[in-house]
Amino acid sequence: MKAKYPIGLVTNAGKYLVGMVCFILISSFQPSWNLLTQISIQAKDIETDRVGNIYVVSNTNQLYKYDASGKLLSTLNYAYQGNITHIDASNPMELYLFYREMNAIVFLDNNLAYRGKLNLSDAGITQASAIARSYNNTIWVFDQGDLQLKNLNKEGNLIQASGNVLQFAQSKNLNPSLIIDNGSRVFVNDSTEGILVFDVFANYIKTIPIKLKEEFKILNDELFYRNGNNLISYRFSTLQRDTLQLPDINFAAFSVEKERLFVLNPLGISIYSYKPQK
């Protein structure tokens, strides 16, 4: 849930840059959106994978999978008591479902069939606040108990650990809500501290001073996050920020993939295509 964005779409925003060039460049433009279809469902969260499939968490914690056109493909056939806190769909062939209240991760295949479960308490982690799949199919976990970023295998064995992150954090009340592994860096979001950046061996690198209460996405060299009805792109290499105006609708979550915008609103999920202005 949660924002994703196609790289080409943001790169095109450079044509519309105006004004002064400063340390952080800012641009904004109004795209043209075309409503393709609407999925009627009462849901609390959405996520997409890199091929454009949509994963929808209903208000009753049922999970549904749709394709990019809105066709229902699969329904979760594994009954598990608890709230789905986060879906990691970075590998379309295997999903990780995080149940924070249960301190557990459930693994599903691409048809939403059950493949296994890891009780994090069995791995010595009594209070996980966020999890993610790593690029080598292990698991990143932020352990709230000892304030460490940890890398585990699926059996729960510890591979790497960061050490207590308070040694390089300003806030003393860390409660990270999201982890993203892009293959070269691991990003840990805390709304009071910012985005803590680690290497793939759990070594701290720096903190990006952007404090977000909502989830974000990282694609290659760009960080994407929501600001009101705008999507902001922040480029790590240049520190440039681009602003894209989204459809003026009341939405609770969104995702972008394959030049499609997926918006969760009171009516369900609206799927838009993007058409740049001429």
pLDDT tens-digit map of 81-133: 789 999 999 999 999 999 999 999 999 999 999 999 999 999 999 999 999 99
Over range 147-173, report the average pLDDT. 94
Q: Exposure of 94 by Cβ count < 10 A (0-12 exposed, 13-18 middle, 19+ buried)?
A: middle
Number of domains in the chain: 1
pTM comes to: 0.83
Four-residue CA torsion sign, 82, 87, 88, 90: positive
pLDDT tens-digit map of 251-262: 888 887 767 888
**Between 39 and 10, where is the model more confident?**
39
**Beta carbons of 226 and 245 less than 8 angstroms apart:** no
Which 3 state secondary structure label does DSSP give 168?
helix
1, part of any domain: no
In 3D space, the residue among 250, 256, 262 whose CA is nearest the CA of residue 70 turns out to be 262
What residues make up the domain containing 142? 7-275
**Between 211 and 27, where is the model more confident?**
211
Beta strand 72-75 pairing with 86-88: unpaired
**Beta carbons of 176 and 130 less than 8 angstroms apart:** yes
Task: Please give the Cα distance from 150 to 158 (Å, whole number).
Answer: 7
Please calculate the CA angle 265-81-73 and round it to the nearest 5 degrees: 50
137, part of any domain: yes
What value does the mean pLDDT of the chain take? 84
Quick one: pLDDT band at residue 31, thresholds 50, 70, 90? low
The pLDDT assigned to 238 comes to 87
140, part of any domain: yes
**Beta carbons of 107 and 117 less than 8 angstroms apart:** yes
2, part of any domain: no
CATH code at 46? 2.120.10.30
